[in-house]
Each structure stands twice: as C-alpha cells, then as structure tokens.
Amino acid sequence: MISGQGTLPTGTRRQKWWGWGEEGKSYPLEDRPRALPFLNQILGLSGNEISPRLTLDQIRLRESRADGRLLVKLRSIVGETNVTTETRERLVHAMGKGYQDLIRLRRGIVPNPPDAVVYPASEAQVAAILEYASQRDVSVVPFGGGTSVVGGVEAWPREEGGLLLALDMTRMNRVLAIDQVSRTTKAEAGIMGPDLEEKLNHAGYTLGHFPESFEYSTLGGWVAARAAGQKSTKYGKIEHMVEGLRLVSPSGTIATRDVPASAAGPDLRHLLIGSEGIFGVITEVTLRIHRYPDRMEHRGILLRDFSSGMRALREIMQSGVNPPTLRLSDSAETSAFAALLRRPRKTIDRLETRLGMWLMARRGFSLESGSLLIMGLEGTEGEVAEQKRIVLAECREAGAFNLGRGAGETWHRGRFELPYLRDVLLDRGVMVDTLETATTWRNLENLYLRVKEAMEQAIASMGAKPFVMCHVSHAYRDGASLYYTFLAKQIEGREVEQWREVKKASCECILENGGTLSHHHGVGLEHTPWMESEVGRKGKELISAVKSTLDPRGVMNPGKILGTTPEWRGT
C-alpha cells in the first residue's frame, strides 16, 4: 500500500505496534541462567506474574475522522498510495516507545490515534501539507522512527476532537551529498540511522552517532530531540554535529547557512535543534563527519565503587583525551550486568570466567559492590593508544580490576538490545523505564544519590519493592550525564499512575538539585510540567513567541515542550 520512492518506507512498517523493534525479534533469556532469579529477587516477584497484551484484532481504534476533502487534498500532494487510514499504521503512529506508551498500547488504550498517516517525499510536499493543515486547523505530528520515550511523537490534537495527521518522514531518506573536503554530509531528515551510517562507511566516513534507538530512529528525530549517542563523548551530541539545517514551518521555510561558525546574531540552529516538531518539520541536515576509525576497541574495567569511578572519569575528560565511550555503572547496574551474562558455551571459557572471578575476589573486587566501566576507544592507532594509556592510568589510580576486552565486546555487541529486554519485563508484569539528566562534576554524586533516593521512595510509597540503577552515560570536561533505570512490580490496574509518581518525584528532585530535565531524551509530553522550572517563565515565553511566529495556528505537534492546558490534559 505504501511506497517510498518505489520502496517501502524503512521505518515503522517492520516495527512491532506493541513493543520495541522488529516483529519476531526478542531478547534471549534462555542462556542467561541468572537473569530471572535475579529479577525475582530484586523485585520480590514470585516469577509467575504475567501481564497479557491484546492482539491487533482486539484493538478497537476510534474510526478515522479524516474527511474526503482532507484525503483528496493529501493524495493530490503526496500521491494516491502515500496516505493511509489503515488501523495498524494509525496505531504505530499513535505513540512512541516509552513505558507509558507500551503499557497503553498493550491494553488498547489509544485515546488519540491519528486520523491519517501521510508520507511526503520532498520538502515541497511537506510545505504543501503544512500549509493546508494550518488553513484547516488540522494538527500535524512529525514522525521519524517513532522511538521517542518521552511522548515526543504522541498523537495529540490541538483541541479535543480535532483532526490529526501523522507526518511520516521515512520516504525522505536520501543522502544528498558527502563532501570529503569539508568532511560534511547533507541528508534528508527521514533517513534511518543504519542507512545513513552505511552510506558514510562506504565512502570511508562515520557520523559517530549511535543512540540506543539507532536501528529505528531517523536523522530528523535525532536533531529534533537533541539526541546523544553511545560514542558522543568523542563525537559530540547531535547538536555538535549539525553544521546547518532546513525546517519547514506552516508559515514558511527557515534555513541556516552551511558554515563552520558565525557571529551573525543569535545562532538560530540551536533554536531549531531540540524543537521537537513544535515549530515545523526538519527536512534536511548538514552534518560534520569523521574518517572511519582505523581501530576500535572496547574494554570492561571494574572500579571499586561508583564514587571513585566518577572521579576517574572526570580526570580522564579533563586530561584532554576523548574516548568515544565511557559508560560507568553504579553497583546496582553492575550487578544487573553480571546477572545478564550468558552462560559460557565452551568448557575453556567457563574455566576462564571462573579464574577471572577468583582473581577478582582475591584482589577485593566484586560484581556486587563494584562499578563497571565500559570504555570504548576509537581513532587512529596512535589516538587509541593515547586514549587507552590515559584511561587505564586513571583507572589504576582509582583502584581497578581490568576485565579485559571480553566484557567490553559483550557490551558492544548487545548495545542496541536492551530495549527488547523491556518488552520481556513488561510481559512479566514489571514496570521498567529510564530517565536521564546531566550536571557538573561537582554536583554529580550529590544529584546521583538524591534522585536515586527519590525514585526508591516514590516506588516504595506505593507498596512495591524498588530497584534503581544508574550509569554515567556521557562525560564532558565540565560534567556528565546520569542515566537511571527504575524497576518495580507493576501495580495492577494503576500501572500508569504508579509510573507517573516515580517520574514526578524524579523530575522534581532533578530540578531542585541542579540537574537538567533531560540530557538527550527530550521534553515531549512527559516533561512539560517541569519546563517552567527548567527554563523559567521567560524561557517558556521565548519558545512560545517563536512558535507563534512559525506556527501561528498552533497545528505543529501540539502539547510538546510547551504543554497543553491542564483542563485538556485532565490533570
């Protein structure tokens, strides 16, 4: 039914409507004998909990309200086959992939499915759609891979009962240029992570942007949400990679110049990056790229504790090297990592593992109290050697047990798999979500402890046993980000409410203690209640003023960033 320049859109068609990633792909627990016992123990589960989900046939989706006039107009813009009101497509485009989304999708609670999904193939088509939508007050949700975990792509009309379109960008997936002299690439915003990276690799380059959602997210989505990737400590967050971009709004197109730096007034790029679709649709991006590294290496290192690990990370970053990955888990996450290890297949591997454990214990380290650092090094041979020298020296200084390349490669192989594990946990009646923040080095441990405590208290206050784990996901010279995962047994019938309590307690705690509302997930719908605490009243007014200029009818991705009126959200 849908054709993207002759081929199927690469994005949502293959994805599960109720969970992460492709249909048929799951997180294998069979050869991880410690996983379920660990889970049952930390959350106080019997192991018999199940949380059933509806089948597609059982979902009763509200009928599309798209009228003939709307559909005829859209078809005249994008072509007959690139508009759909099909149930599955409307369902996949109704929400992102946050915990709250999956809980509702599995139970068939989809209050605002889009009335139609439209697949433009060019900037001109996007402009025509937005112009028409603005005239008719039809709300438009720009949709890339749909992997937002903060409600950034949730179908949400401007007013209750209003018409709503999902604008799927995945047909706009061309690489327009690779400039090997300036080391930049220009691509359409709907291109998926692997497609862009593969084309760059083929020419000898890498973008260096690998969010956990990499396989299913788009360039435009990364830019709209100010994403970070697993190698961003070297390559930067997406906002550092963007040299220039184009955004189509209902009132016209805005383009920044492709120049390395400028002093021609405020930098409007940074107003469009992170705008999450509320101003318009990012259609094209020019990105800085890097020579494909000669060498990549991943290692696991066990630090005595999280605190000394954080100090080591700071020393590394402030020494001037930029290893792409420095992922430091607290003791809870380290023990979870250990519980998820696969059973060694060969006798020799089993013996090696045992020997390693024995050595580790003899030296006073443990996977229960220690802090696992995954370090990823990459660059020329010389750069990798220098990164390694400094990282290992700082770790030795802090007291460390080198787990070697095996632990690092295990993490690297499975680096896009964890969202699949969430579906397994959801099946077993477990609440599991992540949230993240960033702060300065001086404040990092304080913020870490306070947010963890706030989460644990919020979960416990509702009668469940909390398990909160955390890692430092991205490090800078002046600070770092903290990435939390919180788990508990679901409270049946109150799943969303339970989750909201944790979210609320966490966000309030973050803002009271010098963190930021998000380091790389974005604001979406979920964080809007705290945007005023984050940017102040004036800050929100500025964002509103820009929105009014670009989207005077308010049709673009309603409710995101700026929030909706409390009455309309029913809170």
DSSP secondary structure code for residue 145 in this structure: S
| Sign of the four-CA dihedral 456, 459, 464, 467 | negative
Instruction: Identify which of residues 12 and 481 has a Cβ nearer to its own copies in the complex.
Output: 481
Q: Of 358, 391, 374, 570, nearest to 473 (Cα)?
A: 374
Instruction: Yes or no: say if 523 and 277 are a contact pair by the CB < 8 Å rule.
Output: no
Q: At its nearest, how many Å lie between its own copies and the CB of residue 257?
A: 5
Q: Which is nearer to its own copies, 402 or 443 (CB)?
A: 443
- At its nearest, how many Å lie between its own copies and the CB of residue 197? 18
Between 298 and 327, how does the x/- string for binding to its own copies read (CB under 8 A)? ----------------x---x-x-------
Burial class (CB in 10 A: 0-12, 13-18, 19+), 221: buried
User: Which residues between 57 and 76 bind its own copies (CB under 8 A)?
Assistant: none
- Pairing outcome for strands 371-379 and 325-329: antiparallel
Greatest pairwise CA separation for the chain in angstroms? 75
- Cα–Cα dist 214/197, whole Å: 10
Considering beta carbons, is residue 135 or 549 the nearer one to its own copies?
549
184 binds its own copies (CB under 8 A): yes
**Looking at beta carbons, which pairs linking 528-534 to residues 24 or more positions away fall under 8 Å?**
528/559, 528/560, 528/561, 528/562, 528/563, 528/564, 529/504, 529/563, 531/561, 531/562, 531/563
- Cα separation of the two ends of the chain: 39
Question: Is 183 near its own copies (CB under 8 A)?
Answer: yes
Interacting stretch for its own copies, rule CB under 8 A, among 182-190, 199-207, 397-405, 453-461? 182-190
Could you say which residues in the range 353-412 bind its own copies, by CB under 8 A?
379-380, 383
User: Of the two residues 441 and 467, which places its CB atom closer to its own copies in the complex?
Assistant: 441
Q: What is the length of the chain? A: 571
How many Å apart are CA 202 and CA 199, to the nearest integer? 5
| Piece of 74-82, 352-360, 396-404, 522-530 that binds its own copies (CB under 8 A) | 522-530
Rounded to a whole number of angstroms, the minimum distance from the CB of residue 472 to its own copies is 11
User: Of 258, 294, 453, 492, which one interacts with its own copies (CB under 8 A)?
Assistant: 258
Q: Does 43 bind its own copies (CB under 8 A)?
A: no
In Å, how far are 95, 295, 339, 419, 423 from 19, measured between CA atoms?
11, 35, 23, 9, 6
Site track 207-236 with its own copies (rule: CB under 8 A), x = hit: ------------------xxxx--------
Among 517, 525, 555, 556, contact with its own copies (rule: CB under 8 A): 517
**Residues ≥6 apart with Cβ < 8 Å to 238:** 209, 222, 223, 226, 227, 228, 229, 273
Q: Which of 24, 161, 260, 493 binds its own copies (CB under 8 A)?
A: 260
Backbone phi and psi for residue 510, each to the nearest 5 degrees, phi listed first: -60, -50
Binding residues for its own copies restricted to 437-496, rule: CB under 8 A: 438-443, 474, 476-481
* Residue burial 45-64, b: 16+ Cβ < 10 Å; e: rest: beeeeebebeeeeebeeeeb
Q: Does 516 help bind its own copies (rule: CB under 8 A)?
A: yes
Which of 69, 257, 343, 363 contacts its own copies by CB under 8 A? 257
CB of 4 to its own copies, least distance (A): 28
C-alpha closest to that of 157 among 564, 571, 567: 564
Q: Shortest gap between Cβ of 187 and its own copies (angstroms)? A: 15
Closest CB to its own copies among 13 and 183? 183
Smallest separation, CB 294 to its own copies (Å): 12
Q: How many residues contact its own copies, by CB under 8 A?
A: 88
CB atoms within 10 A of CB 261: 6
C-beta closer to its own copies: residue 476 or 499: 476
Question: Residue 74 carries which side chain, given as an amino acid letter?
Answer: L
Judged by CB, which is closer to its own copies: 5, or 544? 544
Residues 531-570 that bind its own copies (CB under 8 A): 531, 534-539, 541-546, 548-550, 561
Among 49, 131, 239, 417, binds its own copies (CB under 8 A): 239
Q: Which is nearer to its own copies, 78 or 438 (CB)?
A: 438
Among 41, 251, 307, 353, binds its own copies (CB under 8 A): 251
Stretch that binds its own copies, among 20-28, 83-91, 168-176, 527-535 (CB under 8 A): 527-535
Q: Of 127 and 464, which CB lies nearer to its own copies in the complex structure? A: 127
Q: Does 98 bind its own copies (CB under 8 A)?
A: no
341 near its own copies (CB under 8 A): no
189 scored as a contact of its own copies (CB under 8 A): no
Taking CB under 8 A as the rule, which mask of x and - marks residues 262-281 in contact with its own copies?
A: xxxxxxxxxxxxxxx-----
Whichever of 190 and 208 has its CB closer to its own copies, that residue is 208
H/E run at residue 359: helix 347-362
Neighbours of 379 (CB within 10 A): 22
Burial 79-89 (b: 16+ CB within 10 A, else e): eeebbbbebeb
Does 6 contact its own copies by CB under 8 A? no
507 contacts its own copies (rule: CB under 8 A): no
> Which one, 243 or 297, has the nearer CB to its own copies?
243
- Which two structure tokens, joined as six digits, stand for 258? 């492709």
Please state, as a whole number, how many other Cβ atoms lie within 10 Å of the Cβ of residue 413: 10
The count of other CB atoms within 10 Å of the CB of residue 466 is: 21
Using CB under 8 A as the binding rule, whether residue 295 contacts its own copies is answered as no
Identify which of residues 431 and 444 has a Cβ nearer to its own copies in the complex.
444
